[in-house]
Amino acid sequence: MFLDFALISGLLVVAHLLRSRIRLFQEILLPTPILAGLIGLAAGPEGLDLIPFARDEDGAPVMRRYPGELVILLFATLFMGSRADEPGLATMIRSAGDTFFYNLSAWIGQFGLALLFAGAVLIPLFPQVGGPFALMLPSGFAGGHGTATAVGSILAGQGHENAMAIGYTFATIGLLAAVLGGVAAINLATRSGWTRLVATPRELPADLRRGLIDPAGARHVARETVSPLALETLSWHLGLVLLAYGAAHAVSWALQSAGGQFTALPMFALAVICGAVLQKVLDGVGVGRHVDRQTMGRLGSSISDFLVAFGVASIPLTIVADYAAPILVMSVFGFAHAAFITWWIARRTFHNYWFERGIFTFGWTTGVVAMGIALLRVVDPQMKSKTLDDYGLAYLPIAMVEIVVLSTLPLWVAGGAVWQPGLLLTGVAAGLLLVSWKTIGFFPADPVVRRAAESR
């Protein structure tokens, strides 16, 4: 296992150096973990077999198991860290209500509409696929490789062993769609007068484009919360994450031994619960404030980098080839959904900077949040639209809903349901928009008309 992590670490280093030197990779905003994974896919067991990744007794790459464990670590970090200044739900809705309703609706709606599209179009065209296959599209697009791992592992336990590989494929396609579609949308928006803060597509700063930050402009990414004379801050935080990870495994074992309805609880959900409970215990004994939220976020992002690299490098190409046509059809649907909500719904929902806010959501509903930030930086280089500030306020309640949906929906769909969850989730997504339009406002459809508090 450690040798595999050493090998993928080497690929991450090589990929990052290539990205910092090759202009094409910078222009398309290609994330380093994706590039590392693609190199591993080409040169590893699924390709030329030049990289000596470990294999099990059946000859299968052991690294296929790693994302399932890494996603447990990733979810363990989500609710760990001091949140003393976190606003309440009412305060959040007053400050960032349209951001909350729109982003949650976009996420839920992609799941619901994907299932409806599968029932109406995909399954009649390709009878060999079903609801679980369609569920992997939003898991990969709106969710990313981490969510694809979480949902795929649940479906694999229900007999859909190819779900995770298909989810990784959708997640990788989604990232490319975010880049190419996002850049095309920005060019159209600047020419059409939809942007408020730039008149032409602004190139990202060299540091962000190349991926190497000038030391003179480097920022601190975390706080030191324990004395290094006793324990290093990173050791303290990593230890807490691993403790939550171990607790999740222990709880899962106990539930499996006891039997009953709770044995179906997915491991990633148990990790979230264990992490949150651990944080509450630390708060209760007076040391919760020594758990830095930003450090936990960085640890989670680091885990995600390895998860993505391993996930892409371990995609079984034979499975992708077998399902190439339905993958293409669902990918076109996913891109069309993200483009539609950006063009039609975002400009009627956001009280200001509709395109800036919409392109950020487009980036993460096809790729990842980092991709949304990169696209946002092109049209809002000084972050005047407050898009990220509002998303930060809205994220916690959105994440809570996501955990509930991801813990229950895969089992429902694995049981054969397609139309029922599709209609329910689509109805919830529509209801969120109606609440936003009723409480925040329904704004002019003209994309050029300026709104209050927009820079001139």
**Predicted local distance difference test score (pLDDT) of residue 427:** 98
Residue 370 has which token pair? 């980092």
Name the CA radius of gyration of the chain, rounded.
22
Spatial distance between the Cα atoms of 140 and 162, rounded to a whole number of angstroms:
14
**Predicted local distance difference test score (pLDDT) of residue 84:** 66
Q: What is the mean pLDDT of residues 4-8?
A: 96
**Predicted local distance difference test score (pLDDT) of residue 95:** 73
Residue 148 has which token pair? 């694809």
Spatial distance between the Cα atoms of 260 and 427, rounded to a whole number of angstroms:
31
Spatial distance between the Cα atoms of 19 and 183, rounded to a whole number of angstroms:
18
| pTM for the structure as a whole | 0.87
pLDDT tens for residues 391-446?
988 888 898 899 999 999 999 999 999 999 999 999 999 999 999 999 998 888 78
Closest-CA residue to 310 (of 60, 68, 47, 26): 68
Residue 418 has which token pair? 């397609």
pLDDT at 15 over 90: yes
Q: Is 241 exposed, middle or buried (0-12, 13-18, 19+ CB in 10 A)?
A: buried
Q: Is 133 exposed, middle or buried (0-12, 13-18, 19+ CB in 10 A)?
A: buried
pLDDT tens for residues 346-372?
999 999 999 999 999 999 999 888 889
**Predicted local distance difference test score (pLDDT) of residue 450:** 83
The neighbour count for residue 455, using CB atoms within 10 Å, is: 12
3-state secondary structure of 11: helix
Q: 69: number of CA atoms within 13 Å, CB side?
A: 10
pLDDT at 456 over 60: no
pLDDT tens for residues 102-122?
999 999 999 999 999 999 999
Domain boundaries, the chain: 2-209+228-439
> Which stretches of 161-288 are DSSP H helices?
163-192, 206-210, 233-258, 267-284
Q: What is the mean pLDDT of residues 93-109?
A: 91
